[in-house]
Amino acid sequence: MRKRKYINSKYKAQERTRISGRFGTVVIVIILAIIAFTTIYPVFFTANSSLKTQAEWSKSKFSLPIPPNFDNFKTAWKRALVPRTFANSIIVTFGGVILCFFVCLLAAYAATKVKFKARNLLFILLLSSMMIPVQTILYPFFKTMKDFNLTDNYLGLILSFATFQIPITIYQYAAYLKRVPNEIIEAARVDGASTLRIIFSIVLPVAKPVIFTAGLINFAWMWNELLLPIMILQSPKMQTLIVSLASLRGQYGTFPTLISAGVFIGIIPISIVYLFLQNQIIKGMTAGTVKG
């Protein structure tokens, strides 16, 4: 009798656990569905609006464009000088990402693997710069760039991008390089390897996940940045793609369908990057979280 009661109570406990597990799964799925909807719907609404005429959009903002109209894309492409501004974005974005990579790799190695006086103090001072509001230093920063004749040219914007992204990127690199065993580096030094040889032959291959992930984050930020390009680049032909597309509203009135087409053109490149490199992004974000 007692054995039967014990079996029944155990069965009921297991059943409660199953129900609780199923309920938890349903809640998680609902939450993920809500997040997915709030993320995907704005993109869908933008694409849907970009394929309508102004009259169709005014009549119904949520109806499907039947048939689709691509005139907004043609107009946005022409008025925003997309071929030229796209090339500008490619140059300054890749330039900023590459500059960040070299500076931050060397700085993170020095901060984690090279022993010298005031190392920790310098590292803390560098990281503390992330806490300074960008708006408070914009004018002196612009004045400095202008004094060095770095306005309205690619180099000035590349240096600006790197300046504002170096602190957080160094922090990401340093957090990862701390996991690299010092014994490997000491063994390379004993074998006569120079510092640069150690960095690019030993540290670089090991740190590929964080370098790749930080590079993609920097790429997305630099590609979508508005404030710095507006401040540094004054000529319309020197502007980046995002700035040129954003200016459609101010120059040609408020045409939601045209603006939507411009926004969609601007997000296509970064979407393609994430679409094809999502596996590498996930690997980079989760690197070091699971011990082998």
Class of domain 81-246: mainly alpha
The pLDDT tens digits of the residues spanning 123-135 come to: 788 778 778 877 7
Q: Which amino acid is located at 86 in the chain? A: F
The pLDDT tens digits of the residues spanning 267-280 come to: 888 888 877 777 76
User: What's the CA gap between 146 and 152, in Å, rounded?
Assistant: 9
Confidence of residue 229 (pLDDT cuts 50, 70, 90): very high
Q: Which amino acid is located at 154 in the chain? A: Y
Alpha helices in 51-148 (DSSP H): 54-59, 71-79, 82-113, 119-128, 138-147
Cβ count within 10 A of residue 6: 10
Confidence of residue 289 (pLDDT cuts 50, 70, 90): very low
User: What's the CA gap between 48 and 56, in Å, rounded?
Assistant: 11
Whether the link from the prior residue into 209 is cis, omega within 30° of 0, is: no
Do the Cβ atoms of 100 and 286 come closer than 8 Å? no
For residue 223, the model assigns a pLDDT of: 92
Element (H, E) at 177: helix 154-177
Cβ count within 10 A of residue 246: 19
Do the Cβ atoms of 155 and 99 come closer than 8 Å? no
User: What's the CA gap between 245 and 258, in Å, rounded?
Assistant: 10
**Dihedral Cα 191, 111, 209, 129, nearest 10 deg:** -160
User: What's the CA gap between 120 and 54, in Å, rounded?
Assistant: 59
Give the pair of three-digit tokens for residue 254: 């408020």
Q: Which residue from 70, 81, 171 is spatially nearest to 128, judged by alpha carbons?
A: 171
For residue 93, the model assigns a pLDDT of: 95
Q: Which residue from 77, 46, 83, 70 is spatially nearest to 245, judged by alpha carbons?
A: 77
Element (H, E) at 223: helix 208-224
Which residues does 133 contact at the CB level (< 8 Å), separation at least 6?
none
Cβ count within 10 A of residue 213: 21
DSSP 140-176: HHHHHHHHTT-TTSHHHHHHHHHHHHHHHHHHHHHHH
Domain borders along the chain are: 2-59, 81-246
The pLDDT tens digits of the residues spanning 144-193 come to: 999 999 999 999 999 999 999 998 999 889 888 888 888 888 888 888 88
Phi, psi for 132 (deg, rounded to 5): -80, 125
Do the Cβ atoms of 269 and 58 come closer than 8 Å? no
User: What's the CA gap between 189 and 203, in Å, rounded?
Assistant: 13
Provide the 8-state DSSP code for 118. T
**Dihedral Cα 129, 132, 138, 142, nearest 10 deg:** -20
The pLDDT tens digits of the residues spanning 9-57 come to: 655 556 666 666 677 788 888 998 998 888 888 888 888 888 888 888 8
